Amino acid sequence: MKSMTRGQWFSFTDSLIQDNTRDIIGVQSKGKRFHFALLENAHDLRLDHDVTLLPPKKFLLPTHEELIRFDISRPFEVSSSKPDRAQILIGVHPYDVIAIQQLDAVYQNPPVDDIYAARRKNTLIIASDILTIASRSFAGSLGNHVVTSGYDLLVTDLGDIVVIDEGTSAGRELLKSFGECREALTPEIERVTQLRAELPGRYRHKLKVDKWQWTELLLNNSTHPLWEKNARKCLSCGTCTLVCPTCFCYDVDDVMDINMKEGTRVRTWDSCLLRDFTLIGSGEIFRQAPVDRYRHRFYRKGVYLPQRFGFVACVGCGRCATQCLSDIADPLNVMNTLAASSVETRLDLPIPHKKPHHLQGPIFLPKSATIIRREKMTQTDTFYEIELDSRKPLGHQPGQFVEVSIFGMGEAPISVASAPEPGRNSFDLLVRSVGNVTTHLQSLTVGDKIGIRGPFGNGFDAASLRKRDLMFIAGGCGMAPMRSLVKYVLAHRSEFGEVSLLYGCKDPDSILFNADLNVWKTRTDIVQKFTVDDCPAGASWDGNIGVITDLIPLIDFDPGKTTAIIVGPPVMYRFVIKNLKDRGMPDDNIIVSLERRMKCGVGKCGHCQINGVYVCLEGPVFNYADIKDLPEAF
């Protein structure tokens, strides 16, 4: 440990500012509160702050951040955002240091967010011990009032002198280059030790349940009356998540310059408390009720992130408690209430174990691709054959998806509709016009450029289907991902048992992939049955009229030997699954592919989450047995 006088500490921060090679960010007063801001004068730095309005996260994951820049006046012109200047954050409290370590774990977990990683690498952290305890903080109960790693330097302001602990060699270098100090004397070190030891006792608010028990407590209390009671007071304003140092979800949107030539893709902090957070192109909202959104926030902190990363995603800073107008956001109150009145209705919310992703390079930079074939299939659906301009195959598995970019419009997740075939570099997409990107795509034609990211997600595990009888059950444009698997199976037909395809659509005109269906009709090794909800008078139709479940009794299948693969609109799953289970099909034999708002594709933005499961990482293809207990799945 080192120590320096107040004057030397001032000179040290001042010379960091004067050096002008890095942005020096420090805690400063803002009205009667505090914030992290660019430090222009060493006198403005405060180390006696209780807590800042926003966490220092905003300098690692800015509230608004440019991901890519594009020029739509050219066929395909896009570049990554420019890296920021290096920076030093001064005055970061221990709980915020721990929150930054959590952000690091999330954003540097594969697939690594390269923009975050680059900024983080360029950031030094000068932490400071807590002198003033924030009124609603309970960091002491979580052990987050002190910290032993995660900082480059840790300063303790003892008034007359400042004691400094060197956490990293970068911190030591910084101190050597810009500061004057000496070895700390034993009495000084003792004062620091005492200050830290006395901290927990100074917290007014105490958690009555150990943080490692949060998961159990929450899983036992999903139906506790507290959720409804508090949610009635919820304004759905997102404040609790926006001021949280451990929340990290974001939204992405394209913004055009007024010259209509250049534009940027911008990511902005988002909140799972906002109604449209789970909205998908077709208009469905998966967490519509405020109570579901309210509870989700606590489950994320106490169940989902602990399951995935091994930490409780609350550091006890008290920001949410202070800033929630209705005062329902405080995790301390919620956990203490649950502990005092546990209702013990056990719920299990496992995250299925899937292959990790190892995407490399800039994850937000779309690859240039060209439309090489286009075919209008129905009034709302168009088929595209796409080739990457690198002429390399996409490298996908059946059931995976890509993010299709149209600069200025945004991105949309689209399932790949073709099977990987040896010698073929192109891939197929079927696009239904529902949102901005998909509607604009309909106007593009052969030779036009689009951007592609991916492939993403876990597709169908063809190996596990070998030797099984297969029943494909598709609804509407669910036929697109299904086609990738059907094509794969038919190309390797001898490896599988009996194969049938049940396909339902709104009306005969909505049937997709007629050309494929007609070819498959000529084969004797696949049984096909069709149904439509409605057949207008005069239309030629020889299939069934009714719901998709009408077709299941038409197939003679052995529920034990058969695997059913279901892809369709959200409403379809419940009915089809119930029907199959009534026929004696075990859960394990049912495979589904689910649609959610996969915005980033890399398990960060949070929009596609089904309870703790990221559809873009663990899905979109799931074994029903793995997710049947997730209340948000079906």
Partner 1 sequence: MKPRVAVFDFASCEGCELQLFNLEEKFLDLIKIVDVVSFREGMKEHSDLYDIAVIDGSIMRPMDVERLKIIRKKAKTVVALGACACIGGVNKLRNQWTSENVRREVYGDANLEGNPLFDIFPARAVDEVVKVDYYVPGCPIDRAEFTKVITAVIMGREPRLPSYPVCVECKLRENQCVFELGMFCLGPITRAGCNAICPTHRKGCAGCRGFLEDANMDAFKDVLRKYKIPMDEWLKCFDMFNCKIKREK
Using CB under 8 A, list all residues that contact partner 1.
30-33, 35, 53-54, 58, 63-64, 232-239, 242-243, 255-256, 258-260, 268-269, 271, 274-276, 290, 323, 325-327, 408-409, 435-436, 439-440, 443
CB of 7 to partner 1, least distance (A): 31
CB of 240 to partner 1, least distance (A): 10
Identity of the residue, 88 or 242, whose beta carbon is nearer to partner 1 in the bound complex: 242
CB of 325 to partner 1, least distance (A): 5
> Which whole-number Å values give the CA distances from 327 to 57, 256, 332, in the listed order?
23, 39, 11
Query: In sequence order, which residues have a C-beta less than 8 Å from that of residue 358 and are 6 or more positions away?
Result: 110, 111
Identity of the residue, 234 or 252, whose beta carbon is nearer to partner 1 in the bound complex: 234
Count CA within 13 A, CB hemisphere, residue 27: 26
Identity of the residue, 281 or 559, whose beta carbon is nearer to partner 1 in the bound complex: 281
- The position carrying tokens 């240091």 is 97
CB of 53 to partner 1, least distance (A): 5
* Helix intervals (H) in 76-113: 94-107
The CB density around residue 15, as the number of other CB atoms within 10 Å, is: 14
CB of 268 to partner 1, least distance (A): 8
Identity of the residue, 36 or 107, whose beta carbon is nearer to partner 1 in the bound complex: 36
Identity of the residue, 156 or 230, whose beta carbon is nearer to partner 1 in the bound complex: 230
Identity of the residue, 408 or 478, whose beta carbon is nearer to partner 1 in the bound complex: 408
Give one word for 222, left, alpha or beta, with left for phi > 0 and alpha for psi -120 to 50.
Answer: alpha
CB of 26 to partner 1, least distance (A): 15
Mapped to the 3 state alphabet, what secondary structure does 364-381 carry? CCCEEEEEEEEEECCCCE
The CB density around residue 84, as the number of other CB atoms within 10 Å, is: 15
Alpha-carbon gap, residue 614 to 622, rounded angstroms: 11
Identity of the residue, 35 or 196, whose beta carbon is nearer to partner 1 in the bound complex: 35
Q: Nearest Cα to 463, choosing from 487, 492, 498?
A: 492
Give one word for 525, left, alpha or beta, with left for phi > 0 and alpha for psi -120 to 50.
Answer: alpha
Identity of the residue, 307 or 439, whose beta carbon is nearer to partner 1 in the bound complex: 439
Coil, helix or strand at residue 143? coil
Strands 381-388 and 64-71: unpaired
Q: Nearest Cα to 287, choosing from 609, 579, 584, 531?
A: 609
Q: Nearest Cα to 196, choosing from 133, 151, 146?
A: 146
Phi and psi torsions of 591, nearest 5°: -115, 135
Query: In sequence order, which residues have a C-beta less than 8 Å from that of residue 364 and are 6 or more positions away?
Result: 67, 68, 80, 115, 265, 453
Alpha-carbon gap, residue 300 to 362, rounded angstroms: 27
CB of 275 to partner 1, least distance (A): 6
Identity of the residue, 64 or 355, whose beta carbon is nearer to partner 1 in the bound complex: 64
Coil, helix or strand at residue 223? coil
- The position carrying tokens 């089809």 is 576
Identity of the residue, 9 or 269, whose beta carbon is nearer to partner 1 in the bound complex: 269
Identity of the residue, 87 or 439, whose beta carbon is nearer to partner 1 in the bound complex: 439
Structure tokens at 549: 């479940």
Are 279 and 597 spatial neighbours (Cβ–Cβ below 8 Å)? yes
